[in-house]
Amino acid sequence: MDDRSAGRRGPAVLLGEAAEDWTGDAVFYEYSAAADPVAAGAIAPVPVHRFSPGLHAGTASRMIPLDLSGTLGVPYPATSPGLLASFVVIGPGDHLATVPDATSELYYCLRGRGHSDVERPSAPGDPRPVRMEWMEGDVLTLPAGCTTVHAADASDAEGALLYRVTDSPLLHYLGVTATEPRFEPTRFDGVAARARLAEVEHDPEAVDRSRVSVLLANRATPQTLTATHTLWAMIGVLPPDRVQRPHRHQSAALDLITECSPGCYSLIGSRLDADGAIADPFRVDWEPAGAFVTPPGLWHSHHNESGRPAYLVPVQDAGLHTYLRSLDIRFTSNGP
Ligand SMILES: [Fe+2]
């Protein structure tokens, strides 16, 4: 007995006697059995899935998560592995609160007008929430840590309808809480966005471009050029009788259709045929104020046979993929 244990009482603990060797969870797979977990059936592929505008019918205030967690095999709400989209209905004169659970929140106002009072932990000593006014066509982005009360004006009998996308599934997967805001609350004015879109549409070179759209970016994201450091968003028009040629990327897209007439659709598939069209495609018909998931890595093209312009707002986790250098966006030989 040395000086350190002198005078101690109780049972002696011998080091190593009940030692855990920490091998219980260790697994060894033969390489070919685990090199492609999707093909092996261990992890589910992201499905093509359409969400009907009927989900947000009525004016009763509520959050409607577009939840595919069962298909994706995760124990938290998710529309794609990294993103959660929701419709947010706010009755006339009513309000609804959102709590922090993401590094980035993006809202697109589909209907009505109102305001969001945003409390930010990043502004200690200033307990006043930031008030952000919004109306149809506006986009808001909010950083980590925001507790927000969204209120619809009482003057609009239909209340307000927002489309919300966050990266909360990514945080759940990582087992983390976002604490540091990476950008300031930001509003993208809908009237300014439409004006910029019209400029792009009437550019003489637009006829040679497959896409007529504007990308939303933030001064805080000079490397990824995206709406937030994780989220990418686009406001686009598909003119009548036009086809947006096939392209693909490794980000998942949660596509919101803001305006369309019957005859607009997307084709989605895993390979191109000899003519550069998508072989054996899955067809998703567009509905106004509806949404659908375009899985990562699949070719997709958009078609407008309605005779009227159609408008879409895809939101993707392409900010994150661009940072990881894993976006791998590809176009058919004609380019973007
Ligand atoms: Fe795309």
Q: In this prediction, what percent of the chain has a pLDDT beyond 90?
A: 86
- Run of H or E including 113: strand 113-119
What's the pLDDT score for residue 5?
47
How far, in Å, is the centroid of ligand 1 from the Cα of 78?
19
Beta-carbon contacts of residue 183 (< 8 Å; ≥ 6 apart):
141, 143, 218, 220, 221, 228, 229
Encode pLDDT of 197-241 as tens digits. Answer: 999 999 887 767 778 999 999 999 999 999 999 999 999 999 999
Q: In angstroms, how far is CA 19 from the centroid of its own chain?
A: 46
- pTM comes to 0.92
Q: From ligand 1's centre to the CA of 253, what distance in Å?
A: 7
The answer to whether the CB of 235 falls within 8 A of the CB of 216 is yes
d(CA 189, CA 80): 27
Q: In what order do the strands lie in the sheet with 49-51?
A: 49-51, 290-294, 253-259, 310-316, 232-238, 212-216
Residues 6+ apart with CB under 8 A from 195: none
Between the CA of 332 and the centroid of ligand 1 the distance, in Å, is 12
Q: How far is the CA of 148 from the centre of ligand 1 (A)?
A: 30
**Tens-digit pLDDT profile for residues 4-34:** 445 556 566 566 567 889 999 999 999 999 9
Structure tokens at 9: 């009482």
Taking only the tens place, the pLDDT of each residue in 264-320 is 999 999 999 999 999 999 999 999 999 999 999 999 999 999 999 999 999 999 999
Distance CA 96, CA 88 (A): 8
What distance in Å separates the CA atoms of residue 42 and residue 29, rounded to the nearest whole number?
13
The dihedral formed by the CA atoms of 12, 17, 19 and 21, expressed in degrees to the nearest 10: 170
* 241 token code pair: 């009788």
d(CA 247, ligand 1 centre) in Å: 6
Compute the distance from residue 330 Cα to the ligand 1 centre, in Å.
Answer: 9
Q: Which two tokens stand for residue 25?
A: 């969870």
CA of 331 to the centre of ligand 1 (A): 10
CB 110 within 8 A of CB 258: yes
